[in-house]
């Protein structure tokens, strides 16, 4: 199943968790004094839809307080501003889709090899990762894994079920991207 099909089939919890994880992986290493995990409140809103509006507002405030946001943070802020106030419906699906695209674009931008095929993000999302560099392919695999993990959780499971595993997968993705960004910064001098 392609990433596009998985997003189309995901439930509200899967969409919210997947989108929040995508946004987390876009954030650069926090500057000294910055909140180290500004999207943490959003994860609580993913677990409990009643908390979503308040936690979304907290995450927006935390991102607004970052000292030197840079381009990825600016784009994450824009997506948080567009997030639906209710953790349900087609607005949530469209937002989760946009978060997926952003995470793939950020990873593509840090791929040293650059794209070998036209519109690699669209191709990856449609199920054809050929020509994708290692960072883009890795991000695609993370998004698919997260949606598969969440789809496999029984509806009777507690609201926060699976969030720890998603956090682990996402944390590894953040480390990979931050290492690649640091390498590029050293090369540029």
CB 154 within 8 A of CB 141: no
The pLDDT of residue 155? 64
- Contact criterion met (CB below 8 Å) for 25 and 101: no
What pLDDT is attached to residue 4?
A: 97
Total number of residues shown for the chain:
189
Predicted local distance difference test score (pLDDT) of residue 46: 87
The alpha carbon of residue 162 and the mean position of all alpha carbons in its chain are separated, in whole angstroms, by 16
What is the reported pLDDT for 117? 66
Q: Residues of the chain whose pLDDT is less than 50?
A: none
Q: Using alpha carbons, select from 128, 131, 150 the residue that is nearest to residue 22.
A: 150
Integer CA distances (angstroms), 168 to 143, 162, 165, in order = 13, 10, 5
Euclidean distance between CA atoms 74 and 31, whole angstroms? 15
Instruction: Report pLDDT for 22.
Output: 96
Residue 76 pLDDT: 93
pLDDT of residue 189: 64
Q: What is the pLDDT of residue 153?
A: 82
Binning the chain into helix, strand and coil, the percentages to the nearest 5 are 70, 0, 30
Question: Which pLDDT does position 29 carry in this prediction?
Answer: 83
Amino acid 126: pLDDT: 96
Give yes or no for a contact between 101 and 121, defined as CB atoms under 8 angstroms apart.
yes
């Amino acid at each position: 199943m392609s990433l596009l099909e998985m997003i189309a089939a995901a439930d509200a919890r899967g969409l919210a968790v997947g989108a929040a994880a995508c946004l987390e992986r876009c954030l650069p290493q926090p500057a000294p004094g910055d909140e180290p995990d500004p999207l943490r409140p959003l994860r609580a809103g993913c677990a409990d839809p009643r908390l979503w509006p308040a936690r979304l507002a907290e995450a927006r405030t935390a991102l607004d307080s970052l000292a030197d946001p840079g381009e990825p943070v600016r784009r994450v802020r824009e997506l948080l501003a567009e997030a639906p106030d209710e953790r349900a419906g087609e607005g949530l699906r469209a937002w989760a889709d946009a978060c997926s695209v952003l995470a793939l674009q950020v990873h593509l931008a840090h791929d040293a090899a650059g794209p070998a095929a036209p519109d690699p993000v669209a191709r990856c999302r449609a199920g054809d990762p050929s020509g994708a560099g290692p960072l883009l392919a890795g991000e695609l695999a993370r998004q698919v894994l997260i949606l598969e993990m969440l789809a496999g959780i029984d509806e009777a499971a507690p609201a926060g079920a699976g969030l720890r595993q998603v956090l682990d997968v996402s944390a590894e993705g953040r480390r990979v991207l931050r290492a690649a960004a640091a390498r590029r910064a050293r090369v540029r001098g």
